[in-house]
A and B are shown apart, each in its own frame.
Chain A
Amino acid sequence: MGEFKVHRVRFFNYVPSGIRCVAYNNQSNRLAVSRTDGTVEIYNLSANYFQEKFFPGHESRATEALCWAKGQRLFSAGLNGEIIEYDLQALDIKYSMDAFGGPIWSMAASPSGSQLLVGCEDGSVKLFQINPDKIQFERNFDRQKSRILSLSWHPSGTHIAAGSIDYISVFDIKSGSAVHKMLVDRQYMGVSKRKCIIWGVAFLSDGTVISVDSAGKVQFWDSATGTLVKTHLVANADVQSIAVSDQEDSFVVGTAEGTVFHFQLVSVTSNSSEKQWVRTKPFQHHTHDVRTVAHSPTALISGGTDTHLVIRPLMEKVEVKNYDAALRKITFPHRRLISCSKKRQLLLFQFSHHLDLWRLGSTVATGGKTSGKFLVPGKHGDTLPLSKDADHLLQLKTKGPENIICSCVSPCGSWIAYSTASRFFLRRLNYEHDNLSLHRVSKMPACLRSAVQIMFSEDSTKLFVASNQGSLHILRLLEGSFKHLHTFQAQSGTVESMCLLAVSPDGNWLAASGTSAGVHVYSVKRLKIFEYSIPDKQYTEWSRAIQKQGFHHHWLQRDTPITHIGFHPKRPAHILLHDAYMFCIIDKSLPLPNDKTLLYNPLPPTNESDVIRRRTAHAFKISKKYKPLLFMDLLDEGTLVAVERPLDDIIAQLPPPIKKKKFGT
């Protein structure tokens, strides 16, 4: 396969923002995740936990609550006091609506999905009716004296429980008045704390209310009598979140110490009908606060300040022990944050509010052995001396509160395009020796408002922009200016956004893939649309062969989605692809591996003749050296660039976790 010079880049100091809310949708098996910067991501749990959609964040929009209603509709509410509905097809915000109650702390959709409750800073609980196109304010419940931090509907939809500071109220939906007020003990291990904040409540169908609070208690209340039934002290710090399974036989709580506790309804003795809530399993997958938890039928999902989304399958619910039963930690977004200019060896890093442009360094190391036509100095594992270090060329800051959605640097390195939710920007870079100057290209066409995906053609003369209304724009780039060539309108009747773009090397063909997984192929020259949906058209010979033989079982057991695919510019038979933990070069000319061969071979074969080497060679060449891998591409024939982001560096930038006494320290 040969050797490569690898630029190992670790200076992309990207820190994902912490997870604030997760909401699981049982119908579509999707998970909505909101982060502290206002970003909302949708994960498809059926498709290997792939992050299939995302809504860019906004500085003033701190989401505090997220919920699904009426099946597939997604709502969020936050400290700016607005309720937002998202358009999952157009990847856009459908509308936002002020609840006029100050910052919103909590939100819950009714069991039928037709009503929405929000709990506000001013102590009010507001009921909204969900109409097909909008939501409509219906009424206020009795005003409480302090903010409503948590809400939960009774499954019959007749009552709700609302957690406030120091007490829990139970409201009757019909009258809107508080039926019970249950005071929570402020005492914490004998010491009176200032206040006891009810971070979460859950209303069960038998009338039990479960509350979690800042004193580290999980408490069970009888809502009919308003009395405390049982207390579990689970943590020395706040218990911040709770989620109950649909069957109401288990629930999960998350604490500020990073621990997640699983509670189950267990028979008191075997074959007796009397059941009791028992704390069964503690999980410590987080270092920081677990701000939110969710309970899918087969897994516990948790997220928090440490930015990981953790999916912990419940072993008793998993039928077969396989990779579905393995713990997953998702830290990095699956969309592309890095683009690269091959010609000038530039890397463009995208942050939420700025872009960084770096130039890669170089080495003058010579000698070593030749591999193919070019020379690779040194042998496997060597670090080459740098003749020039990587330079930080440019930092481009956006104005305004909106986050950057996508960005791209052209292959020639002289154009940068990026977009926020409301504006599209194009910049021209001029290189004069070592000086760099930046010009803003003004007068963008009116139709180019925002983009979901941006792509330059290989020769940097064309710019392709996928907007969030389903249309595709083509711009011709000239020296310092541009011309709007054409717009492919979306198929009539569909508003789905294009998520992925790909351009053929000659620039004549453009492929785009939307949220519903169809692939559209456009001819740029003739400005016509050819549409192929995947199942109708033919796959290549090779993919037929691999479908026939089946992938290697280890390959199928990988649990992270492939995030990037590239092709070798000179050797069309080579495909480069990577996920967060490995990268792989597939050589289509070599035989496919079968289950008996070793798929991953980390060590160089020693003392083996060429014959054996040739016989054991197969198409999949895998390296797990770089991880977590955010980006990898071929710069030229023998040079790769790999961008890593070590988890330790991220943790170092997070606030310190709650100090816990460890035995022996």
Chain B
Amino acid sequence: MAALEEEFTLSAVPLGAGPDGLLGVEQCDKTDQFLITDGGRTVILYKVSDQKPLGSWSVKQGQVITCPAVCNFQTGEYIVVHDSKVLRLWTNEDVNLDKVFKATLSAEVYRIHSIPGTEPLVLFKEGAVRGLEALLAEPQQKIETVISDEEVIKWTKFFMVFRHPALIFITEKHGNYFAYVQKFNSSVLSKYTLLLGQEENFVIQSFTASLDRKFISLLSLSSDGCIYETLIPIHPSDPEKNQQPRVVRSLLLKTVVSGNARNALSVLDQDHVAVLGPPLPASKECLSIWNTKFQTLQVSKELPQGTSGQLWYYGEHLFMLHGKILTVIPYKCEMSSLAGALGKLKHGQDSGTQTMPHFVNWETSQGYGLESKNSEPSKRILRRRTIEPSVQPEVPASQQLLSIIKKDSEKHIEIELRKFLATKRTPDFHTVIGDIAIGLLERCKTEPSFYPRNSLMQLIQMHVLSYSLCPGLMEVALEKTDIQMLQLCLQQFPDIPEAVTCACLKMFLSIGDDNLQEIDVNMESVSDYSDAVQDEKMEEQMGILQNGFNPEEDNCDNCDKELSKKPQKTVEETTSCPVIPKRAALLNAVLHSAYSESFLLPHLKDIPAQHITLFLQYLYFLYLKCNENATMTLPGIHPPTLNQIMDWICLLLDANFTVLVMIPEAKSLLLSLYKFVKSQICICSELNKIEVSFRELKKLNQEKNNRELYSIEVLELF
């Protein structure tokens, strides 16, 4: 599959490209180096992998470069033509183009061609061709006229055909196109007339050619947006007899671009072409790679800032002007095969993307799903005309917001933030949100009275923030005892440090019940058993009464007795949720947060003993609740799991073991916890025994199934 890689730019400063873009991009004798000739007076030598210029040469004010600079692969010199007739030759060491070798020719040069392995060729505007050496030996030699009067050379390319150079150039005269093939081993010039087929009135916009054994395959992009192929024989069959053979072009790809813009075409390899131009009449310009064998679009890339309608391809790089900046897009293509196209090969391709005639741009809608894919093209059409100028300031929208944050009132910030969040999400959305949060927090630190609570809540609820994106947010919330925000953070952030989790826990345990009642807390995780608590309040009273008569059981050896007594005890314990539902919801948020034991333990030691007891009581309550049903889960939408509860019990006991042993309030709690755990272990060991029996049963069943050596069965195929 063909793939375009990440683009990069060659020059941050815009080139002095004229309205017609660059003059040319040409290869150099060293790999990875390219000569770029802009539309004015400058030639720049770039090393593409380093993205930096190695040298730059300009002609004098008043002179104009008329033909792209090329490199003579045999000598390593560079050649450029300015003012149509003046030839300049120089090397890397030369600084000033005025002082280098100069030759003034007798006719106007159209282009100089240079490819590795042969001497450069000079093509004159009148169609004559000379080798560079011969020309330099006698610069003022007479140049004959080959093409007729009003014929104009449109495009030209130089090939090596079986180690012999061959030049093809296309001319146009009154809407008719002619192809000339000049071969240098036999010095034969063959002329062909290009028959355009029915679409006579369309202008050919771009040509490209490649060698295909005995033919030059000439591809042309017409203004109807289709690509046509013309096969021009390299060896003319009988040049004497038929003086002007005609070649017909055939349709290769249909409507790949919309025809009215400036489009460009380049052959990449046998089966792939690169097309530059807008896919729809009013959409932005795209670089697309098409597979001509299977007629499929392989990949495309949007170039929103427009191009000059020029495209060069060397080696693995595609060069184009994107906006005013020369952009290089590395291109890779693996061999495509029918098997690959049918999905038999491993390189998985989404079946959807391939068959869609007009493609979705994956760059802008990276799965955010904000816009439906079908509606996107039409939107683009509408927006293009009217909103195009305002596309630019969209990027600094976050910057604007940040500056607002620095000075404006909380109210204003909130309104602006809401506006900002309502706009479309960009790929860097979460970093922008992080920046905004940090901006808000910075102001909080400098201005103690400033606390944009609503804005911060709004940001957290975007589900993209994490602790590391806005360090300090939770600290500020702790400072302000903003319980609601802390709960939200605990629920949303995946990466809260243990110290902060512990600080939250401390706050949740220490805050008074009266204060809690006033705060709006998300009760999702406790909603269900809060009413149970209400219901069982009465029973609780009874339970305590009953308990008063029970002699304290110290030794747990008589487990049977314990077990028989247990139901009563559980009733008593479950009924008394030791904390109010709001606090329970907050504690649940702590239970849900991620932690690592070794980092959490030291912080747990700092919590006062009575809070630890309270939390342990709550955990014990949850544990008992869990045991009420067979699935060992708690009711509610997002309750703590049994594992979380058990882990926290262990952690609390580990961290505060000595303290808990010392304080009298905890004694009965620990004792009942111990009894309950013991009874649970009894049950588990019983379960273990049952499991073994069942396993054996299952094994026996299987064996019975397998042991039958012969049977006749009925099978129905569906």
Interface locus among B77-85, B338-346, B476-484, B619-627: B338-346
Within the complex, which residue of A386, A550, A595, A604 is in contact with B718, where a contact is CB–CB below 8 Å?
A: A604
Residues of B within 8 A of A605 (CB): 718
**B717 with A585: CB separation less than 8 A:** yes
Contact B718 A384 (CB under 8 A): no
User: Is B709 interfacial (CB-CB < 8 Å)?
Assistant: yes
Whether A361 and B717, one on each chain, are in contact in the complex, defined by CB atoms closer than 8 angstroms, is no
Indicate if A478 sits at the interface (CB-CB under 8 A): no
Q: How far is the CB of A622 from chain B (nearest CB, A)?
A: 8
Which residues of B pack against A, CB within 8 Å? 342-344, 346-348, 351, 706, 708-718
Interface residues of A in 41-56 (CB under 8 A from B): none
A11 to B716, CA, bound (A): 24
In this complex, how many residues of chain A approach chain B with their Cβ under 8 Å: the count is 49
- CB <8 Å contact, B346 and A322: yes
Q: Do B710 and A384 touch across chains, with their CB atoms under 8 A apart?
A: no
Are A383 and B718 touching (Cβ within 8 A)?
no
Q: Contact at A379–B716, with CB atoms within 8 Å?
A: yes
Given contacts A1-B717, A603-B718, contact A386 B344 (CB under 8 A): no
Residue in B343, B708, B712 whose beta carbon sits within 8 Å of that of A553 in the complex: B343
Contact across chains for A380 and B714 when beta carbons are under 8 A apart: yes
Whether B718 contacts A6 by the Cβ 8 Å rule is: no
Which residues of B have CB within 8 Å of A479? none
| Residues of chain A contacted by B712 (CB below 8 angstroms) | 5-8, 361-363, 383-384, 386
A362 to B716, CA, bound (A): 19
Q: Among A2, A363, A377, A379, which residue has its beta carbon within 8 angstroms of that of B717?
A: A2
Q: Is the CB of B716 within 8 A of A6?
A: no
Cβ-defined contact, B714 with A384, below 8 A: yes
- Residues of chain A within 8 A (CB-CB) of B706 are 10, 646, 648-649
The 10 closest A-B pairs by CB, nearest first: A380-B716, A621-B717, A11-B709, A1-B717, A3-B716, A550-B342, A320-B346, A378-B714, A382-B714, A384-B712
B1 to chain A, nearest CB (A): 13
Q: Answer yes or no: A389 CB below 8 A from chain B CBs.
A: yes
B579 to chain A, nearest CB (A): 40
Q: How far is the CA of A646 from the CA of B709 in the complex (A)?
A: 10
Residues of A within 8 A of B710 (CB): 7-11, 361, 386, 389-390
Among A2, A322, A361, A550, find the residue whose CB has the most chain B CB atoms closer than 10 A: A550
**Residues in B whose Cβ lies below 8 Å from that of A550:** 342-344
How far apart sit A324 and B345, CA to CA, in the bound complex (Å)?
Answer: 12
Q: Are B717 and A4 in contact (CB under 8 A)?
A: yes
Q: 27 pairs across A/B with beta carbons < 8 Å?
A: A1-B717, A3-B714, A6-B712, A8-B711, A9-B709, A10-B708, A10-B709, A11-B709, A361-B712, A362-B712, A376-B714, A377-B714, A379-B716, A380-B714, A380-B715, A380-B716, A382-B713, A383-B713, A384-B712, A384-B713, A384-B714, A386-B711, A550-B344, A595-B351, A603-B718, A623-B715, A648-B706
A446 near B: Cβ within 8 Å? no
Q: Considering only CB atoms, which chain A residue lies closest to B343 in the complex?
A: A550
Which B-chain residue is minimally distant from A649 (CB atoms)?
B706
Total CB contacts across the A-B interface at under 8 A: 94
Q: How far is the CB of A417 from chain B (nearest CB, A)?
A: 26
> In the complex, what residues of A have CB within 8 A of residue B344's CB?
550-551, 556
Chain A nearest Cβ from B516, distance in angstroms: 47
- Residue in chain A with minimal CB distance to B708: A10
Given A320-B346, A320-B347, A550-B343: A381 in contact with B718 (beta carbons within 8 A): no
Interface residues of A in 281-340 (CB under 8 A from B): 319-320, 322, 324
Q: A597 at the A/B interface (Cβ < 8 Å)?
A: no
A625 at the interface (CB under 8 A from B): yes
Q: How long is the Cα–Cα vector from A179 to B602 in the complex, in angstroms?
A: 61
The answer to whether the Cβ of A601 comes within 8 Å of any Cβ in the partner chain is yes
**Which one, A9, A319, A389, contacts B346 given CB within 8 A?**
A319
Query: Per a CB cutoff under 8 Å, which of A2, A10, A551, A649 touches B716?
Result: A2
Query: Which residues of B have CB within 8 Å of A389?
Result: 710
**Known: A320-B348, A550-B343, A556-B344. Contact between A4 and B715, CB under 8 A?**
yes
Closest B residue to A368 using CB positions: B714
Interface pair B714/A1, CB less than 8 Å apart: no
**Closest chain B residue to A549 by CB distance?**
B342
| Residues of B close to A604: CB separation below 8 A | 716, 718
Known: A604-B718, A648-B706. A6 touches B346 (CB 8 A): no
Q: How far is the CB of B708 from chain A (nearest CB, A)?
A: 7
Question: Chain A contacts of B715 at CB under 8 A?
Answer: 3-6, 380-381, 623, 625, 640
**Chain B residues whose CB sits within 8 angstroms of the CB of A379 once the complex forms:** 714, 716
CB within 8 Å of B: which of A534-563? 550-551, 553, 556
Q: Are B347 and A1 in contact (CB under 8 A)?
A: no
Report the separation of the CA atoms of residues A268 and B89 in the bound assembly, to the nearest whole angstrom: 55
- Chain A 607-628: CB-based contact to B (< 8 A → 1; otherwise 0): 0000000000000011101000
Of chain A, the residue at the smallest CB distance from B339 is: A550
